[in-house]
Amino acid sequence: GNSVTQMEGPVTLSEEAFLTINCTYTATGYPSLFWYVQYPGEGLQLLLKATKADDKGSNKGFEATYRKETTSFHLEKGSVQVSDSAVYFCALSRRSSASKIIFGSGTRLSIRP
């Protein structure tokens, strides 16, 4: 079946450090891939997305590249800020009538000043 695996948290970094949160997926065909962010007490917001192989999604300094050969969609940011502290979810969706979105377990990120 379809699934998403992302690195366990929590991840704690100092401000201005480089960030990588790993995400790999299992799915048949060509799913769309997403990263969502959840700030404390809030719903999920779309951070970035990619709909086909080799696409790069980017937003707010975050980037992720859709790698079909390694079935991965790792999230990166060159210099994190305290305001980036949140929970990050990797997700996929296949083209089907039900259009379910499958989420990873989430990675909590904490940035120290």
Please tell me the distance from the alpha carbon of residue 46 to that of residue 99, in angstroms, as a whole number.
16
> Hey, is 83 helix, strand or coil?
helix
Q: Which stretch binds another protein (CB under 8 A): 20-28, 60-68, 71-79, 104-112?
A: 104-112
Please return the burial class of 59, using the count of CB atoms within 10 Å of its CB with bins 0-12, 13-18 and 19+: middle
For residue 51, state whether it binds another protein (rule: CB under 8 A).
Answer: yes
What is the rounded radius of gyration, in angstroms, for the C-alpha atoms of the chain?
A: 14
Residue 41 binds another protein, judged by CB under 8 A: yes
Shortest Å, Cβ 2 to another protein: 12
| Residue 49 near residue 80 (C-beta atoms within 8 A) | no
Asked if 1 touches another protein (CB under 8 A), the answer is: no
Q: Report if residue 66 touches another protein, rule: CB under 8 A.
A: no
- State which of residues 45, 79, 81, 83 lies at the interface with another protein (CB under 8 A): 45
Among 46, 60, 61, 82, the residue binding another protein under the rule CB under 8 A is 46
Phi, psi for residue 73 in degrees, rounded to 5: -155, 65
Residues near another protein (CB under 8 A): 31-32, 34, 36, 41-46, 49, 51, 89, 93-95, 97-106
